[in-house]
Amino acid sequence: MSMSRFARIAALSSLSMSVALVFAAPARSQTLLDLLLNKPQVQRAPVAQPGFPPPPKPKPAAKPIKKILPPSFLDYKADPLAQFSAAKVVTTTAVSVGAIGGFGLAEGVAVAGDVQIAAEKPVTDALAKLYGEAPAFLWVSGFDPKTSALAIAAHLAEAARYGLDAEDYAIALPAHRWNASDMATRMVELTRFEFQLSAAIARYVRDVEGGRINPNRISGFYDIASKVPDLASVVRGLAGEADPVAALEARHPQEPEYARLQAELAALRKSGAAAPVVIAEGTLIRPGSAHPELGKVLEAMRRSAGDALLTDHAPVLAGFDPSMPYAGPIVDFVKAWQAAKGLKPDGIIGSRSIRAAVGTSDAEKLRKVELALEKMRWFPDAYGGRYVFINQPAFTATYYNNDVAELTTRTVIGTKTNQTYLFHDMIEYVEFNPTWGVPQSIIVNEFLPKLRANPGYLDAKGYEVYNAKGQKISSRAVNWSAVGTAVPVSVIQPGGDGNALGDLKIMFPNKHSIYMHDTPARDLFARDVRAFSHGCVRLQQPHEMAAKVLGITLADVEARLAKPTNRMNVKQRLPVYVAYFTAWPNEQGGIDYFDDIYERDTHLLKAIEKTRAVRAAES
């Protein structure tokens, strides 16, 4: 049946309305023509329609999380050599070569034509100052070197005794006998000797007082203040010393550990003949058992033990029979030896104990001792009678009073990524039931991903958030998606149970935010390798260390802990040395050797080699 006229009109009207609606619809709809032609849908920006609310704005993309990276090792740059020219500093005069009583420096420079010295700029600057202010001989009298000059030259030639390179201070000595008919040659010889000896002394003093290497160029984890002695004044002063060699030796670090390391260096160089003890791989000896490797293990422990430990256990070691079971007094010796080495004193002889006993060859010990002597020159010449010494590779912190170790406690230090810095500072106060100001690096690297998923994360965990005005706000009030490496708020964990710093923190305020503190993670102290923190130093015995530092009793510490967050200032000047020694004297009279956990010795060796290469070019 054909469609009526009215039906056709209605259908056409309906079709027209549909077409109009299609073209008037938001951009996300397709036109009728597109539908008929089967064209794909095209996305366009929303358009506001009269009588309707505006479409929502697209949500901005979250700012990428760029982690805050710790420092890294650097490409060490050795000090370049500068040039000293005697002719530019000393005004020459007319020469009387045949003079019998001697000659002046100006005459010597005139005869020599010029004397040039290649050395580090502080050394050449010292020469220019020294001879510019007073152009006269310091080390020559008449036509011979002074006795004091020859004594100094002999001392410099033995620089290897301190782990230094004697070649760095080598000078050409004037001939013992000389030809009076050839005065010009003698004058040249003595003039060159004068400048060379002063340059060698200046370099030597610079090296022994501050080290050959600038540690801050090795890594950003180093923060050591440079020592800048007045080299010109030192050289001039030595020329007037009755015993210049003793004066030079006094320029070395005066701590007893330096002398003990120097003695160890000499012993290692002399003995090198002792055959190493070889222990079967996989050896594990428990108390109460017998083992064929026990005799060799005890020999290795005996060699690496200090004199005091050997004296205390001498009868046991002397009467030991390898066929005897591992029990009784022998176990006691092993436990004492383990404790002295910073190992868990459980009497179980496993890989860690064996490595501590025989894992370091004489060659490696020699290298570690030489590096230890270099590192000691970076620190102050005298640590002070009362101080705290933290040795990172040993995982220990020791409190000294009148240079006597009164407390040594195990520590947990930074991971290989978040290393504990190398520096020294002053302990100022102890805070009890401390708050923890979360470092920016932890907020960005660890908290930020969690906060983007859950903005209330900090609130739920009990942290407090403060804006730039110091007002406490909810962590939900921060747009964490817009936060990059610059966090616009500070995050504090209140003191009390669960605080990451435990009961207390011992503060020596520094730009690295490093300090000593307690920790709820007590189980980590049972491990031999304890590198787990973000860089701060956790103490196994924080209460005892706080009592020593403050000069109070443990009961006083407990009384402080019974109160809300409070602090107590240190009454006396108290240095703290955050150090890194893989060879260090122990309290039993021996030298302990430790693993290079951060590979800092490796990079120090590279720096020394680069310095040697630059200095070798001076010839």
Asked whether residue 369 is domain-assigned, the answer is no
**Closest to 287 in 3D by CA, of 340, 218, 352, 345:** 345
Average pLDDT over residues 323-333: 90
pLDDT value of position 46: 56
**Closest to 129 in 3D by CA, of 198, 210, 209, 206:** 198
* pLDDT at 540 exceeding the cut of 80: yes
pLDDT value of position 97: 59
Judgement on whether residues 442 and 483 belong to the same structural domain of the protein: yes
Judgement on whether residues 216 and 147 belong to the same structural domain of the protein: yes
Judgement on whether residues 415 and 332 belong to the same structural domain of the protein: no
Judgement on whether residues 170 and 293 belong to the same structural domain of the protein: no
pLDDT value of position 101: 73
Q: Distances from the Cα of 8 to the Cαs of 20, 36, 144, 498, in angstroms?
A: 18, 21, 133, 81
Asked whether residue 267 is domain-assigned, the answer is no
Asked whether residue 169 is domain-assigned, the answer is yes
Radius of gyration over every alpha carbon of the chain, rounded to an integer in angstroms:
37
Average pLDDT over residues 362-382: 92
| Length, in residues, of the chain | 619
* pLDDT at 490 exceeding the cut of 70: yes
Asked whether residue 67 is domain-assigned, the answer is no
pLDDT value of position 11: 47
d(CA 528, CA 395): 8
Q: Distances from the Cα of 244 to the Cαs of 129, 561, 588, in angstroms?
A: 21, 55, 34
Q: Does an H or E element contain 450, and which?
A: helix 448-453
Of 164-178, 185-199, 288-302, minimum mean pLDDT range = 288-302
Average pLDDT over residues 245-265: 96
Judgement on whether residues 252 and 299 belong to the same structural domain of the protein: no
Confidence of residue 342 (pLDDT cuts 50, 70, 90): confident
Residue 270's SS3 state is helix
Please identify which residue in the block is written with the tokens 């030991």.
320
Q: What's the one-letter identity of residue 150?
A: L
Reduced DSSP (H G I as helix, E B as strand, rest coil) percent helix, strand, coil of the chain, to 5: 40, 15, 45
Judgement on whether residues 542 and 452 belong to the same structural domain of the protein: yes
Give pLDDT tens digits for 53-94: 676 666 677 778 888 888 999 999 999 999 999 999 998 766
Residue 356 is part of a domain; what is its CATH number? 1.10.101
The number of distinct structural domains making up the chain is: 4
Q: Does an H or E element contain 147, and which?
A: helix 147-156
Asked whether residue 618 is domain-assigned, the answer is no
Judgement on whether residues 402 and 335 belong to the same structural domain of the protein: no
pLDDT value of position 41: 55
d(CA 338, CA 332): 10
Q: Does an H or E element contain 591, and which?
A: strand 591-593
Strands 516-517 and 537-539: parallel
Beta strand ranges found along 14-97 (DSSP E): 81-85
Q: What is the reported pTM? A: 0.78
Strands 575-579 and 387-391: parallel
Judgement on whether residues 116 and 12 belong to the same structural domain of the protein: no
Is 163 in contact with 252 (CB distance < 8 Å)? Answer: no
* pLDDT at 617 exceeding the cut of 80: yes
Phi, psi of 303 (to 5 degrees): -65, -35
pLDDT value of position 65: 82
Asked whether residue 370 is domain-assigned, the answer is no
Mean pLDDT over all residues of the chain? 88
Judgement on whether residues 304 and 402 belong to the same structural domain of the protein: no
**Closest to 447 in 3D by CA, of 513, 491, 512, 494:** 491
Last residue of a domain, one of 199, 225, 259: 259
Q: Which domain does 305 fall in, by range?
A: 277-360
Last residue of a domain, one of 206, 230, 259: 259
Judgement on whether residues 489 and 562 belong to the same structural domain of the protein: yes
Asked whether residue 318 is domain-assigned, the answer is yes
* pLDDT at 619 exceeding the cut of 90: no
Of 82-86, 311-315, 414-418, minimum mean pLDDT range = 311-315
pLDDT value of position 22: 40
Confidence of residue 280 (pLDDT cuts 50, 70, 90): confident
Residue 590 is part of a domain; what is its CATH number? 2.40.440.10
Judgement on whether residues 354 and 393 belong to the same structural domain of the protein: no
Judgement on whether residues 354 and 384 belong to the same structural domain of the protein: no
Tokens coding 188: 């040249």
d(CA 373, CA 361): 18
Asked whether residue 66 is domain-assigned, the answer is no
d(CA 399, CA 310): 25
d(CA 260, CA 585): 7
Last residue of a domain, one of 302, 330, 360: 360
Tokens coding 178: 């000389």
Tokens coding 298: 């005890």
Is 224 in contact with 422 (CB distance < 8 Å)? Answer: yes
Question: Which position has the higher pLDDT, 5 or 391?
Answer: 391
d(CA 573, CA 202): 32
Residue 593's SS3 state is strand
**Closest to 484 in 3D by CA, of 517, 453, 452:** 452
Average pLDDT over residues 384-411: 95
d(CA 383, CA 40): 80
Q: What angle do CA 107, 112, 116 make, to 5 degrees?
A: 115
Strands 396-401 and 566-569: unpaired
Q: What's the one-letter identity of residue 446?
A: E
Is residue 61 left, alpha or beta, with left meaning phi > 0 and alpha meaning psi from -120 to 50?
beta
- Kindly state the percentage of the chain with pLDDT values over 90: 69
Give pLDDT tens digits for 200-231: 999 999 999 999 999 999 999 999 999 989 99
